[in-house]
């Protein structure tokens, strides 16, 4: 997730977030898709833009109020009208309520939230900032009590703190103090909070024994091949096994044994150097030292935040190994607030978007994850040992040993999982790999050598619960040149993204070879040069750009959240939202808008309760992305002057990232 849209003219913003770090390759996913789907095939299929308009006419692209609404739909609701304004909107017949907001207290001895007096110590006992992935764990059989586990990805100091202003990529943090950094560090990580259904609305149980904050300072441990590795050792931890904190927590997953997985994504942005170039700006490459090559492959340092000014461990000049202790998958037991989170190094080190799990037919656990950066890869982990129902202690060790693989997509519609195993193929000392620890720690470099397929920013990679299919959200890649297109990444300058469907043979998620296809290519189907591909019944409100998080409901229907970044005005002129998408039969590729965010916000973390009667959504960074292009406002937001004060709309309260609960009016299953 994060700020992922950019203009080719905005070099400063590109440098801030989305510079490709993988080596140039000809066999990218765009070239593979291009080879697989000829123009003739596009025109023959029901997904082609030209086919949609030629065979069905412009009625296929009309608004939701037209006859297109009567077409087969992936879910039964009246489609929401797209647009953008100061608040959120949900489909007719549904109610969207705020469950918990940034700064809400988790414990009974706390005062009401006041952002002007907030300290790091206080924030560490309150709901964190920029809520992202959500998981719900039921506490009672009726499902009226549960634990909500929520990621907190990053901080927006310009709207968090009075008098700061600006954007992190446009200033040198001159106004950020140690006190601000303490709040930022405490606002990251994870919140575990008990919630209860009370008269049709979900509310936090303040003071619950389960309530917990995990921050950038929380003690945790590491297991797997890289635990204790020389490059995991620091001055504070000479053994390389006791770690502190988790940061930039993006998406995640729920394990079958009742724990929570959180993915560390853009951790590189927190690492700082004191070294400056001739222009007086801090360097982001060329800082020298034995780790320069490997650090640059991971974008370290990036100097997004000023934590390195006040904490040596985030300064690569003073603590060069701390950066290796992030970009992992972390497992949290939400039912035991005294448990120590575990970083599972066997799952590889890269910018994890998430970690979605499924129990394979042979009992082994499979974890899918994307590396959220241009031209990076899709990964799969298969546990060595098998899941044992009811044996939580055994199951919590399953992610410690197994085989990590990376995906290669071929133009014939097959794909192979290439094992990242020390001593196999080029993963040898001659190429800088001296152990499996080196392989997982530098998984990106290992995948480069295996010639995995560079993708258009892999976001969520979600297995369907029963079909054997897996869906990968590829959000965008405006850096892809025409000569770099391939069958699985078919468009140059891909501003809009697409969704790939991977199918395991006979439901075997551990198989070496899958097949693959395209579900949709995003963007406006009315503009031929965009090259969008949708079901022709998709309306003007139903098409979208930049798929990000996704989930399946109890009926096995796909729901996709979007993240256009600050370029929504150029891409769609729509707010980010949540869409229901058909994957089978006549409904395949049919998308319908169900919920949309307030201006400047990103849609994250869709999560259904087991009975399907509540849908939780995370709305993060309201009032920030692209608000300069929103004509009613027309400038960058600050704490004092935000584009919206959602969700409180009080003059003394800034915009607050929040979790929303959606329920059907009168009760019943969603859609």
Tens digit of each residue's pLDDT (9 = 90 or more) over 411-431:
999 999 999 999 999 999 999
Q: Quick one: average pLDDT of 46-65?
A: 37
Residues of the chain with pLDDT > 70: what percent?
Answer: 91
Residue 658 belongs to what H/E stretch?
Answer: strand 658-664
Q: Quick one: average pLDDT of 642-663?
A: 98
- Asked whether 551 and 544 are in contact (CB, 8 A), the reply is no
Asked if pLDDT for residue 258 goes beyond 90, the answer is yes
Q: Quick one: average pLDDT of 33-45?
A: 57
Residues sharing a CB contact under 8 Å with residue 469, sequence separation 6 or more, in sequence order: 463, 501, 502, 503, 504, 583
Q: How sure is the predictor about 34, in pLDDT bands with cuts at 50, 70 and 90?
A: confident
The rounded distance, in Å, linking the Cα atoms of 596 and 85 is 10
Per-residue pLDDT at 75: 79
Only one residue has tokens 């970690």, namely 355
Lowest mean pLDDT across 167-181, 293-307, 445-459, 516-530: 167-181
Average pLDDT, the chain: 91
Per-residue pLDDT at 74: 54
The rounded distance, in Å, linking the Cα atoms of 588 and 585 is 6
Percentages of the chain per state (helix, strand, coil), in multiples of 5? 20, 30, 50
Asked if pLDDT for residue 10 goes beyond 90, the answer is no
Only one residue has tokens 């299929």, namely 45
Q: How sure is the predictor about 170, in pLDDT bands with cuts at 50, 70 and 90?
A: low
Q: How sure is the predictor about 22, in pLDDT bands with cuts at 50, 70 and 90?
A: confident
Q: How sure is the predictor about 389, in pLDDT bands with cuts at 50, 70 and 90?
A: very high
Within 13 Å of residue 396, how many CA atoms lie on the same side as its CB?
18
- Asked whether 459 and 353 are in contact (CB, 8 A), the reply is yes
Q: Quick one: tokens of 360? A: 């394979």
Asked if pLDDT for residue 348 goes beyond 60, the answer is yes
Q: Check whether the bond before 301 is cis (ω within 30° of 0).
A: yes
pTM greater than 0.85 (yes/no): yes
Asked if pLDDT for residue 172 goes beyond 80, the answer is no
Per-residue pLDDT at 37: 75
Asked if pLDDT for residue 24 goes beyond 80, the answer is no
Asked if pLDDT for residue 403 goes beyond 60, the answer is yes
Per-residue pLDDT at 21: 83
Per-residue pLDDT at 245: 98
The rounded distance, in Å, linking the Cα atoms of 427 and 429 is 7
Per-residue pLDDT at 639: 96
Q: How sure is the predictor about 169, in pLDDT bands with cuts at 50, 70 and 90?
A: low
């Amino acid at each position: 997730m994060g700020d992922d849209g950019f203009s080719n003219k905005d070099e400063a913003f590109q440098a801030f977030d989305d510079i490709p770090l993988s080596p140039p390759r000809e066999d990218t996913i765009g070239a593979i898709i291009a080879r697989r789907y000829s123009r003739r095939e596009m025109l023959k299929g029901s997904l082609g833009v030209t086919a949609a308009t030629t065979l069905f006419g412009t009625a296929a692209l009309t608004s939701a109020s037209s006859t297109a609404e009567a077409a087969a739909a992936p879910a039964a609701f009246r489609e929401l009208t797209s647009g953008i304004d100061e608040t959120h909107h949900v489909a007719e017949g549904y109610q969207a309520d705020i469950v918990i907001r940034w700064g809400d207290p988790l414990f009974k001895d706390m005062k009401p939230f006041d952002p002007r007096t907030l300290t790091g110590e206080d924030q560490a006992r309150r709901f964190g900032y920029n809520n992202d992935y959500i998981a719900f764990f039921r506490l009672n059989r009726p499902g009226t009590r549960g634990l909500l586990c929520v990621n907190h990805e990053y901080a927006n100091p310009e709207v968090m703190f009075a008098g700061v202003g600006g954007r992190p990529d446009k200033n040198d943090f001159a106004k950020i103090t140690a006190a601000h950094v303490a709040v930022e560090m405490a606002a990251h990580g994870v919140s575990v909070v008990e919630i209860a259904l009370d008269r049709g609305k979900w509310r936090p149980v303040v003071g619950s024994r389960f309530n917990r904050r995990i921050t950038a300072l929380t003690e945790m441990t590491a297991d797997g091949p890289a635990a204790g590795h020389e490059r995991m050792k620091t001055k504070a931890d000479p053994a390389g096994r006791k770690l502190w904190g988790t940061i930039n927590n993006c998406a995640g997953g729920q394990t079958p044994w009742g724990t929570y997985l959180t993915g560390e994504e853009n951790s590189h942005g927190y690492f700082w150097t004191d070294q400056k170039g001739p222009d007086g700006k801090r360097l982001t490459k060329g800082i020298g030292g034995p780790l320069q090559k490997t650090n640059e492959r991971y974008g370290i340092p990036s100097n997004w935040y000023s934590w390195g000014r006040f904490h040596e461990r985030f300064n690569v000049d003073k603590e060069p190994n701390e950066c290796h202790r992030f970009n992992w998958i972390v497992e949290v037991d939400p039912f035991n607030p005294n448990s120590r989170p575990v970083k599972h190094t066997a799952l590889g080190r890269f910018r994890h978007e998430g970690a979605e799990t499924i129990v394979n037919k042979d009992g082994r656990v499979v974890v899918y994850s994307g590396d959220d950066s241009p031209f990076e890869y899709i990964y799969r982990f298969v546990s060595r040992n098998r899941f044992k129902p009811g044996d939580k202690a055994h199951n919590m060790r399953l992610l410690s040993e197994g085989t990590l693989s990376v995906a290669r997509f071929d133009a014939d519609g097959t794909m192979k999982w290439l094992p990242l195993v020390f001593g196999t193929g080029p993963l040898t000392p001659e190429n800088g790999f001296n152990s499996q620890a080196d392989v997982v720690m530098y998984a990106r470099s290992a995948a480069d050598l295996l010639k995995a397929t560079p993708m258009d920013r892999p976001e969520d990679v979600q297995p369907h619960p029963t079909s054997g299919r897996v869906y990968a959200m590829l959000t965008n890649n405006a850096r892809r040149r025409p000569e770099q297109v391939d069958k699985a990444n078919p468009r140059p300058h891909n501003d809009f993204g697409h969704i790939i469907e991977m199918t395991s043979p006979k439901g075997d998620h551990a198989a070496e070879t899958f097949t693959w296809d395209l579900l949709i290519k995003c963007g406006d189907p009315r503009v031929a040069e965009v090259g969008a591909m949708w079901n022709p019944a998709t309306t003007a409100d139903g098409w979208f750009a930049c798929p990000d998080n996704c989930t399946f409901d109890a009926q096995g229907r796909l729901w996709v959240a979007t993240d256009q970044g600050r370029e929504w005005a150029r891409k769609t002129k729509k707010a980010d939202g949540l869409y229901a998408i058909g994957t089978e039969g006549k409904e395949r590729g049919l998308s319908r808008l169900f919920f949309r965010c307030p201006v400047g916000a990103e849609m994250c973390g869709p999560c259904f309760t087991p009975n399907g009667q509540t849908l939780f959504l995370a709305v993060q960074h309201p009032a920030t992305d692209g608000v300069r292009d929103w004509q009613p406002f027309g400038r960058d937001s600050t704490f004092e002057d935000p584009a919206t004060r959602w969700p409180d709309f009080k003059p003394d309260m800034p915009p607050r990232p929040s979790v929303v609960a959606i329920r059907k009016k009168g009760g019943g299953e969603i859609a």
